[in-house]
Amino acid sequence: MSVIAEEVVDPILALEQAGREAFLARDLRALEALWSEALQVNSPINRVHSKQQVLALLGAGVIAHTALDATVELVMRHPDTVVVMGSERVIDDPAAPAVHRRFTNVWRREGEAWRLFVRHANVLP
């Protein structure tokens, strides 16, 4: 993993892991706290979704991952943002093969907290 800005790497990686765990558990309250109100997601189904749209899809079971593993390849700090890039392995149906994706997450400092502000994920061919 290439790393810039060592002082934020551990907290951001902890937030990344907390977000994956909350997503798998469909813990909408935890995701509400981790995600910016301004969150926009360029999703693997080729649509842009707001925070509320993603929470609604997750709450309704439309998004229902049973496994989500990530390999972080880059953490890069800018004054009030941190960019995290890497790859993911996602399983929705345990009987189906895993889906492999590339992702970029942008965290933004909001007051004293870092919150996920922008996410892009695309499925690899």
Side chain identity, residue 30: A
Does residue 62 form part of some domain?
Answer: yes
Q: Which CATH number characterizes residue 69's domain?
A: 3.10.450.50
Range of the domain at 11: 2-85+107-123
Distance between CA atoms of residues 77 and 10, nearest Å? 12
For 23, list phi and psi in degrees, rounded to 5: -65, -45
DSSP secondary structure code for residue 61 in this structure: T
Kindly give the pairing relationship between strand 67-78 and strand 99-110: unpaired
Instruction: Encode pLDDT of 89-110 as tens digits.
Output: 999 988 989 999 999 999 999 9
Instruction: Encode pLDDT of 34-83 as tens digits.
Output: 999 999 999 988 899 999 999 999 999 999 999 999 999 999 998 899 99
Question: How many domains does the chain contain in total?
Answer: 1
